[in-house]
A and B are shown apart, each in its own frame.
Chain A
Amino acid sequence: MSDFRYAVNVLPKPGILDPQGRAVELSLPHLNITTVSRVRVGRRVELTVTADSEAAALALVDGLAKELLSNPLIEAYAIELLEATSSAVSWAAGATQP
């Protein structure tokens, strides 16, 4: 068994009103920024999966992203593999997390 560290990035789907993104965008003129647009605010979830293979770990994360971490009606998600570590090394001891 190995540990796989993932990030799941969840964003409102295109076309879904994102009032948080809009609020951030509306604040930009106060910073004299005029070259930034299409701000979307979402959520990032990081997690570690213990599994036999990367394929198995990814399948589990994908299911979790669909079922719990995002609402497919309104949100899209993307999964990012952060790193694979041997189960002999605990994540906490890794200390390489950005």
Chain B
Amino acid sequence: MGGGGDAAVRIGVVVFPDSNSDVDALNALAVAGVEPVRLWHESPDLNGVSAVILPGGFAYGDYLRAGVIARFSPVMRGVSAFAAEGGLVLGICNGFQVLAESRLVPGALLRNRSLRFACKLVDIKPERLDSPFTRAATGKPLHIPIAHGEGCYYADEATLDELEANGQVLFRYVRSDGAPALDPDEPANPNGSLRAIAGVCNAAGNVAGLMPHPERMSETILGSDDGMQLIRSLVISAAERDAARGPAIVGGTR
């Protein structure tokens, strides 16, 4: 219970072939004091979890386009159904790419403008603090890592305007002074993302994706626990959703 979380809350982390940040995500959930549950890609059964994380990595080798093969995996049938009934789904890095290819969040992730794999610390700022994914955030920029080759957020102008109007832009890359890195070629915008978008959510607000890795900054021993602001947000939202649904009927093994 180190994170002040609720041990009755169970949050799933999907493991695809070539997921590599699943262990970090499972650890971050344990740090937050909830029960992490591994969900294997070959089963659509989400095992009754209260929220789902699609972790970073290179699902199915990222062949064809990052995230597209994963879209057609059995577990994504379960995740899509879960999302459709309002379940909370957070895609991180490759998980964001999977959500975008699955059309569960708007837009697409293009090859980085630099053509280089970008692996470094960046600053991102939550655009709103009333979403299920940011409610425990301070509102100050988070200093967290990225590690991706295809993270350049793209949507057409009309869609971008719509996202902004609906409050669906959850995170932007920011400069050291906290201003959004709107120029796709400036260093604080690590991949050329349009309007400096680092993360978005769907219109209903229950499915979100971001390129940076909050789960890799989950403990001060790792350099910072900035990322826990987002993990805790997810945990609180999942617990609230559980409570709203009433006590779960359990067989005594929980």
Contact = CB atoms under 8 A, between A and B. Distances in A.
A71 B65 contact: yes
A74 interface: yes
Contacts, number: 32
Interface in A53-95: 68-69, 71, 73-74
A73 B152 CA distance: 14
A23 B114 CA distance: 9
Contacts of A36: none
Q: How large is the interface on A (under 10, 10 to 19, 20 to 34, 35 or more residues)?
A: 10 to 19
A33 interface: no
B152 A17 contact: yes
A16 interface: yes
B226 interface: no
Q: Helix, strand, loop or mixed for chain A's interface?
A: mixed
Interface of B: 64-65, 68, 72, 101, 107-108, 110-115, 152, 154-156, 192
27 contacts: A16-B110, A16-B154, A17-B110, A17-B113, A17-B152, A17-B154, A19-B111, A19-B112, A19-B113, A19-B114, A19-B115, A20-B111, A23-B115, A43-B64, A68-B68, A68-B72, A69-B64, A71-B65, A71-B68, A71-B101, A71-B108, A73-B107, A73-B108, A73-B154, A73-B156, A74-B108, A74-B110
